[in-house]
Amino acid sequence: MRIALDAMGTDAHPEPELWAVREAARRWPEDTFLLVGPEDRLAPALQDLPDPVRQRIQLVHAPQVFTGMDKPGRDLRRKMDSSMAVGMRLLKEGEAQAFVTMGNTAGALAYALLLLGRMPGLKRPALMVPVPTARGRMAYLLDAGANAECRAEFLYQFAVMGAVYAQHLQGRAQPKVALLANGEEPTKGTPLTREAWQLLEQSDLNFVGYVEPKELFQGEVDVVVTDGFTGNIVLKTMEALTRLITDSLKAGLGLSWRTKLGALLAMPAFRHMKQSLLDPREVGAVPLMGVNGLVFIGHGRFDGYAVLSGLARAREAVASGFLEKLRQAIQASLPAQERAA
Amino acid sequence: MRIALDAMGTDAHPEPELWAVREAARRWPEDTFLLVGPEDRLAPALQDLPDPVRQRIQLVHAPQVFTGMDKPGRDLRRKMDSSMAVGMRLLKEGEAQAFVTMGNTAGALAYALLLLGRMPGLKRPALMVPVPTARGRMAYLLDAGANAECRAEFLYQFAVMGAVYAQHLQGRAQPKVALLANGEEPTKGTPLTREAWQLLEQSDLNFVGYVEPKELFQGEVDVVVTDGFTGNIVLKTMEALTRLITDSLKAGLGLSWRTKLGALLAMPAFRHMKQSLLDPREVGAVPLMGVNGLVFIGHGRFDGYAVLSGLARAREAVASGFLEKLRQAIQASLPAQERAA
């Protein structure tokens, strides 16, 4: 198996990526890892590896970085030698079977569309994000921001893709699929969600109707579908509110010697909370849904362990033929006359 | 001044309401408080008050309760003798200058529309909710769920109303008004938000463009406007995620004797967090925006102190002529030919 890794994606790049790729090469001796980034920064960190491990890592030179500040509309074309663009080309040319990046999500989506294209029959690709739940497992929300304006058939295909992921890569039998809405009754929502409801109800999916955010966070469903405007705002509300709450708690714990001592003693509790809700290592990398290649996206805050688990997920996806299952599900979701020959 | 109070709105009704109205009658000897609810449940609790205080509280009998389980579509007409409906009628008939309720928000809106109607020239009333921010003061988000489907001119009028509130009842000079969106660039958003942007940009409001949830929670703006579908989902995401985080923290703090002791010592920190972010007493009651009468809505979880502060806010609104200012601002926002004679 050949897996490409963007060496420049995390906020602390390339250290977490280097740690992860060294560990991966030790752990999976059958595989080859293509580490994409500026050769001069990466090569020295691999020199001390024992030869057999070293040989499982191929450096692929990419002089540029598509950073978190870059915008696809402005910077895509002038960074065609970025680690992200080069990684996508490795996929396209069959040099790698999966590409893992912790870089700019909008950039990854734009490069994937430009260089790989979308799957046959798919109207729009989607960003999927894991959402922590009270059950201690993730729910999957899509679209989290790829398409601010959606039609009902987009939402329907997002549901199809989310269900394939939940079933084949998360091992959920008959994954429960829901539409995000402002109430549970079928009369709630908007014309868009009501039309999507009709499509989902007629489908083979295990569609359970509307859910509100409460049911999403309680973990009552596996896949929650919404348009990319709402999904993006939900994602950013989650991030901003989590930050606000944890900052406020930290400020409170620094108030006095008493609270500082309390914080010290209560440390395992904060670790418990962080691991169950906030830890990107637990949250994990997820595939970019619907592009013509296996691209796994993680978070810029990932540490080496989280990058390694992103590589592990990409390996599982390759091994299980996830991409082909997704292609088939998209084809099966189409009216007969729209299917590829 | 005559202020009506729904005795049956809080989850723990009528105790918090009784405590609040007794305290209010002591504190504001010029005013009369109309306590609306089942007379037999309320009267005994007022008997022990000294005569001068007792006389400032008028019981107004209402045998029914519009509960949190009731739905406006189904239950409005059969509960026309609920404390909520009776309170609205007191407003309509000029018996009270403001009505304060902690009950079912959808019910309050429906009764207000049915019995009071909306302000002249206003397209749609809105639910406004306070959002805690890192600056330790609230931002105000509307519409939080009254109108799942909005047109740009609705959003514009929501902004007008939010700004009047922020300026006249929260003392913010030149309140900053923003549209909620999935990015800050004017090209982001949807056709709805882009059209609203045009209207807001041409207005007299201090419009600062789009904000993402991050800027909302950082307190960079005073008023954030969105459609009632998105706003409702943001509100419910806030509630559900706050619950998930605090539950997870509590579970972590109960893990061992060490963490339990830590929790005990750190108690002031949790109180600090709760007060600055989660406490409905700090969050406060807010007016139902755009109905033809001064209706203040609080949260079912309010305790007596929070109900009392709801009464205080209603008094301030009456004293400052808030309703008239809102009416004038709505008229001023209209094209000349649509203004009331």
Q: Which residues of B touch A148 (CB under 8 A)?
A: 182, 188-190
Nearest CA in chain B to A252: B269
Q: Which residues of A touch B239 (CB under 8 A)?
A: 213-214
Q: Which residues of B touch A262 (CB under 8 A)?
A: 261-267, 269
| Average pLDDT for chain B | 93
Could you report the per-residue pLDDT of A23-78, keeping only the tens digit for each? 999 999 999 999 999 999 999 999 999 999 999 999 999 999 999 999 998 999 99
Q: Determine the pLDDT at residue A251.
A: 86
From CA B248, how far away is CA B289, in angstroms rounded? 35
Q: Determine the pLDDT at residue B22.
A: 96
Number of neighbouring beta carbons within 10 Å of residue B296: 24
CA-based R_g, chain A, Å? 21
Report the percentage of chain A scoring pLDDT > 70: 98
Are B273 and A248 in contact (CB < 8 Å)? yes
Provide mean pLDDT across the span A211-228.
Answer: 96
Are B242 and A243 in contact (CB < 8 Å)? no
Question: Quick one: which H or E segment has residue B314?
Answer: helix B304-319
Nearest CA in chain A to B255: A269
Are A268 and B255 in contact (CB < 8 Å)? yes
Q: Determine the pLDDT at residue B283.
A: 63
Q: Which residues of A touch B132 (CB under 8 A)?
A: 244
Question: What's the gap in Å between the CA of B311 and the closest CA on chain A?
Answer: 29
Q: Determine the pLDDT at residue B91.
A: 97
Q: Given a cut of 60, is residue A281 above it in pLDDT?
A: no
Going by pLDDT thresholds of 50, 70 and 90, the confidence category of residue A263 is confident
Nearest to A328 by CA among A153, A179, A160: A160
Interface probe, candidates A137, A182, A267, A271, chain B, greatest B C-beta count within 10 A? A182
Are B217 and A188 in contact (CB < 8 Å)? no
**pTM: predicted TM-score of the whole model, two decimal places:** 0.90
Are A213 and B259 in contact (CB < 8 Å)? no
Q: Which of A228, A258, A262 lies at the smallest CB-CB distance from B263?
A: A262
**Strands (E) located in chain A:** 2-6, 32-37, 57-61, 98-101, 128-132, 138-142, 176-180, 206-211, 223-225, 286-287, 295-297
Q: Determine the pLDDT at residue B259.
A: 87
Are B213 and A233 in contact (CB < 8 Å)? yes
Nearest CA in chain B to A233: B182
Are A182 and B270 in contact (CB < 8 Å)? no
Q: Which of A236, A258, A273 lies at the smallest CB-CB distance from B248?
A: A273
Q: Which of A2-16, A58-72, A111-125, A262-276 has the lowest mean pLDDT?
A: A262-276
Q: Which of A62-66, A178-182, A331-335 has the lowest mean pLDDT?
A: A331-335
- Cα angle, residue B306 at apex, residues B303 and B309 outer, rounded to 5°: 155
Backbone angles phi and psi of B162, in degrees to 5: -60, -40
Nearest CA in chain A to B276: A248
Question: What's the gap in Å between the CA of B214 and the closest CA on chain A?
Answer: 5
Q: Determine the pLDDT at residue A12.
A: 95
Are A233 and B261 in contact (CB < 8 Å)? no
Nearest CA in chain B to A272: B252
Could you report the per-residue pLDDT of B260-276, keeping only the tens digit for each? 888 888 888 888 887 77
Interface probe, candidates A212, A239, A244, chain B, greatest B C-beta count within 10 A? A244
From CA A62, how far away is CA A36, in angstroms rounded? 6
Could you report the per-residue pLDDT of B51-105, keeping only the tens digit for each? 999 999 999 999 999 999 999 989 999 999 999 999 999 999 999 999 999 999 9
Which residues, 6 or more positions from B46, have their beta carbon under 8 angstroms from its beta carbon? B18, B22, B35, B54, B57, B59
Question: What 3-state DSSP class applies to A226?
Answer: coil
- Cα angle, residue A93 at apex, residues A92 and A96 outer, rounded to 5°: 80
Nearest CA in chain A to B253: A269
Q: Given a cut of 70, is residue A341 above it in pLDDT?
A: no
Question: What's the gap in Å between the CA of B221 and the closest CA on chain A?
Answer: 15
Are A248 and B272 in contact (CB < 8 Å)? yes
Predicted ipTM?
0.89
Q: Which of A6-15, A298-307, B78-87 has the lowest mean pLDDT?
A: A298-307
